[in-house]
Structure formats: C-alpha cells, structure tokens
Amino acid sequence: MSLYVMKFGGSSVGDTERMKRVARRIVEKQDEGHQCVVVVSAMGDTTDDLIDQAKLLNENPPAREMDMLMTTGEQISISLLSMAIHGLGRKAMSFTGWQAGFRTEAVHGKARINDIKPERVHKALAEGNIVIVAGFQGMSEDGEITTLGRGGSDTTAVALAAAIQADVCEIYTDVDGIYSTDPRVVKCARKLKEISYDEMLELANLGAAVLHPRAVEYAKHNQVKLVVRSSFNHNEGTVVKEEASMEQGVVVSGIAFDKNVARISILGVSDTPGVLAQVFGELAKAEIDVDIIVQSGVQNGEADFSFTISLADTERALSVIDRIRSEIPYRDVTSEDNLVKVSIVGAGMVSHPGVAAKMFDVISREGVSIKMVSTSEIKVSCVIEGSNLEGVVQALHTAYGLDTDQQALVGGPQVRR
C-alpha cells in the first residue's frame, strides 16, 4: 500500500460538479489500494472575492484579520469535499492547516513553515479515512492563524508529503503536465515527461505558474517525488526529480514569462563604497524583493543604476527611495511599468555556446528592445517592452526547437487561439 498526497487547485474544485469529479478521482486512487491525503485550495475565485469584499470595507485591512478571512475559503473546500466523499460511501475527515499540525513563523500573509506535527493525520489514516487538509494555512507558536502566501497550497502539499513520508505527491491542475511554455500562449507547446528540480525551480521563480517556487524547494530538499497532472483526464503527467534525462537536441527545456515587472532607475548617485548596500538594505527592510540589478559606467564621480521589482511594490519602493534621499543624494529617479521578463531555462545551456546570442537575435527580429539581461548557468532572462510578449514567446519557442504537432490540453479540451 502506497501513501499518496494529492493536491487539487481552485479550478479543480471550482463548483459542486467539479468537486464531485475530484471526489471520484480520490476514491479511484483508494480503490487501487493506496492511502490518500488530499490538500485542497479555495474554490474558484473565492480568494479574490474575499479580498474584494475586504477592500470595500477597508482599503488597508489589517494583515491579521486578512489571514482570518482568507483561510475560510479553504475550510469551505475541505468540508464540502469530505461530504462528497462520504456521499460515495467512503470515510473522510477534514482538517484545517493547524489541525493537521502546521506550525509557522509569526508572519501574516506570507509565513514560512517551521514544523509539521501530523499526528492527527496519521491517526485518521490508520482509522481508514481519506484525509482532507486545507492548503495555504497554518498557525504560529503563539496561536495566531497565518497564511503561506498565494500559491501556498502547493507548498502545503509538498511539505506534508515530506512530513508523513508519502511515496508520491501529485499536483492536480487544469493542464496535464508541465509544458515548455504556457500552452494558453503557444498552442503547440511541448509537454515534458520529466524535468529536474533545478530547472523547475528556475521556471517557477521566473513566472511559470504551474508550481509554486517554495513547493519545488521543499521537494528538492526532501527528495519528494513530485508529479504534475490534470484533474480533468487520466493522462500521464510530468515528473519533477533530481536529474532529468535530456531529450536529444533540446538545449532549452522551457520558456517562462512574468508580466508583473517594474523597473526603477536611480540617476546621478555618488560612486562611493556602501551606497548600493544602503539602498538595497532599506528596500529589504521594507520587504521589497529586488530581481535584476544593472549599474552603468561612472562619469564625474556619479553612477546610474536600475533594478527590477514586482509591479505591486512600485509605489512602496519609490517611497523608500524618496525617504533616503537626504542620506544618499541622487539627481533623479524614474520608473517604468510597461515591461515583462521573458526567460529561457535548460540544464543543457551550460555546455552549449550561443544560446543567449540566439535569444537576443530572436527578440530583435521581433522588433522588441531589450532593457536588461540576467543570466545563470541554466537560464537567460531579458526584460523587454510588454507590447509584443506573445509574439516573442512564440518566436523563441520555435527558434529553440520546442514546437510540436500536437495541441496542448487545458481543462480537457484542446487549446484554442
């Protein structure tokens, strides 16, 4: 008997009919002789609806109360799914994140998991139950309800799989695996049979929404066997593992893009030691993550530098920079928000020269300017103007030989342009 953790996202349990389909899928797994622990997200747009309601009452709601509100979406899902499984004649028991033993740091909105004590999960399994756990949530040591940030249900599933030593952690979504790029943008995207943890982590961090980056980190650290597959069909999914076999002739495994990008430029800063440390130290104190940083040449003892951040952090970042102007004088500051970051990822890039040059050439032939570049051993990222993103992604996909003659499956039916 194998122990499976099965995670279903909001689109998979978006209404009662989909909830019934998920319940049948879980019972099928149990009928195969496996024990099942199921992690569930909030139904459909529930989380967004809750945020909208909060903003109607208070434009800046307290973080603690937002966590109290946000965790209710998953609690609705787990109770309804448990009822659906009972309706099929099986035993099921639902648990909130804290009932399942998740202990987190005392941070509201994006807490990290400190520990998991899954005694109640083990006990319920031993009693023959299918166990349903609310994703995205936990409790701090001082008894405060916390959330793990958007996409945190993936992290819940993988962390729980590690804690209970599950044989497999399956992430069910509306696509039947991990594709070479978003199949909604490129209809002939290639489904990957397997991908390495490192490649998947890069893709997740660079904007690929199929898995949450922290979930991949947990899987890599704990060697959790991770499979991404569709909740709408029984096709084989994509296995995320330590080392993935490289398909002959394929150097780039995937193309990711992130529309949530802003660039801030600080002009005319004194070229003295410690200036950059002070600027980015203040941004870090404000919990603003900085991505790509580029400094220009020095003229007359002054330098210009630019960096990218999340679009949602633009106003806060500009406020921080304005606040430190008396300590770090500068001539001017500018910001741009009509940008995207497009990235190519592949373990084979390290041993193949010319991969980046091809990317730059493809983008230029699309008539798009490159604003910033960042590289590592297995990825190249370009910040570009956002006006022709789909054309750029499609051109790169073709240039690196990733096109197939089959159409990707999203939610069951074929993708349509």
Residues marked as binding for substrate?
47, 74
Is residue 260 helix, strand or coil? strand
Residues 169, 5 contacting (CB under 8 angstroms): yes
Binding residues: 7-10, 47, 74, 173-174, 179, 184
Question: Which token pair is 81?
Answer: 């799914």
Q: Annotated binding site for ATP: which residue ranges?
A: 7-10, 173-174, 179, 184
Contact status, residue 338 vs residue 386, Cβ threshold 8 Å = yes
Angle, alpha carbons 192-197-198 (nearest 5°) = 105
Contact 178, 238 (CB under 8 A): yes
Q: Report d(CA 190, CA 272) in Å as an integer.
A: 49
Residue whose C-alpha is closest to residue 403's, from 206, 187, 200: 187
**Pairing relationship of beta strands 332-345 and 254-270 according to DSSP bridges:** antiparallel
Query: What is the spatial distance between Cα 180 and Cα 192, in angstroms, rounded to a whole number?
Result: 7
Question: Which strands form 290-295's sheet, in the order they lie side by side?
Answer: 290-295, 302-310, 254-270, 332-345, 379-385, 370-376
Measured distance CA(80)–CA(84) in Å, rounded = 6
Sign, Cα dihedral of 238, 240, 241, 246: positive
Q: Left (φ > 0), alpha (ψ -120 to 50) or beta: where does 143 sit? A: left
Whole-angstrom Cα distance, residue 112 to residue 342?
28
**Coil/strand/helix, residue 398:** helix
